[in-house]
Amino acid sequence: MTAAVPRRALVTGGSGDLGGAICQQLATDGLHVIVHANGNPARAQQVVDAIHHAGGSAETVVFDVADGEATRAALAALLDGGPIQVVVNNAGIHDDAPMAGMAEAQWKRVIDVSLHGFFHVTQPLLLPMARTRWGRVVSVSSVAAVTGNRGQSNYAAAKAALHGASKSLAREMASRGITVNVVAPGVIEGQMTHDAFPPEVIKQLVPAGRAGRAEEVAALVGFLCSDAAGYVNGQVIGVNGGMA
């Protein structure tokens, strides 16, 4: 008897702290993981190497999710190898400033990556996914999309838009065995958090009194991408230590 071919999962922004943890979780769960990067392909390759070292299956792909044409071309090449049944939209950027002092380019670039990137990546994968009658779409948002955050009107707007888009897409695709959910992390350990949130600030902001770990977010993403989560659909789930 031949072994079953593993489902393929695409994780955008897979070279970052959180993205890398999600990639490793999905690989541990038996998926073939396509680790996406844009600015740091070497770090994406390190994630792939770590997955291979642990006995998993993975490869890299490089493109800018904000560039629709480049994204469609990259996905077409991947789809030549069969459908991608799991997509985790994790790519996102910060470019913080109070709106009164925010440049138009800051507003548009953040929304281009998080929101337009969601469309550019997810839309071409839907029909091939639907033909298999099984699929998982998970987008990584932020507690800022729920509560707001000073200096992040662009980021909060982009991530909050994912909530509405995902709830609508969940209704469209549910009859095809496809679920669409959002995970909204709070303060999560990593280089960006280390620079922006000293420990005393975290204790004030987070009822749990600590930053979350990337692995804690990845565990939830892994569950939502599993067969066991087939009836969890159209949800926005916080991982924020009680912040919201």
Q: How confident is the model at residue 3 (pLDDT cuts 50, 70, 90)?
A: low
> Residue 193: exposed, middle, or buried by beta-carbon count in 10 A (0-12, 13-18, 19+)?
middle
Rg (CA), the chain: 17
Percentage of the chain modeled with pLDDT above 90 = 92
HSE-up of 80 (CA within 13 Å, CB side)? 6
Q: Choose, from 63, 107, 118, 155, the residue flagged as catalytic.
A: 155
Does the domain formed by 8-238 have CATH 3.40.50.720? yes
The pLDDT value given to residue 23: 98
- Does residue 25 carry a pLDDT above 60? yes
Query: Which of the 8 DSSP states describes residue 235?
Result: -
Mean of pLDDT values over 80-85: 97
Do residues 210 and 242 make contact, with C-beta atoms less than 8 angstroms apart?
no
Is 155 a residue of the active site? Answer: yes
Rounded to two decimals, what is the model's pTM?
Answer: 0.96
Neighbours of 107 (CB within 10 A): 18
Distance CA 63, CA 124 (A): 15
Q: Give the tens place of pLDDT for each residue, 136-195.
A: 999 999 999 999 999 999 999 999 999 999 999 999 999 999 999 999 999 999 876 777
As beta bridge partners, residue 182 has 139, 236
- Does residue 4 carry a pLDDT above 80? no
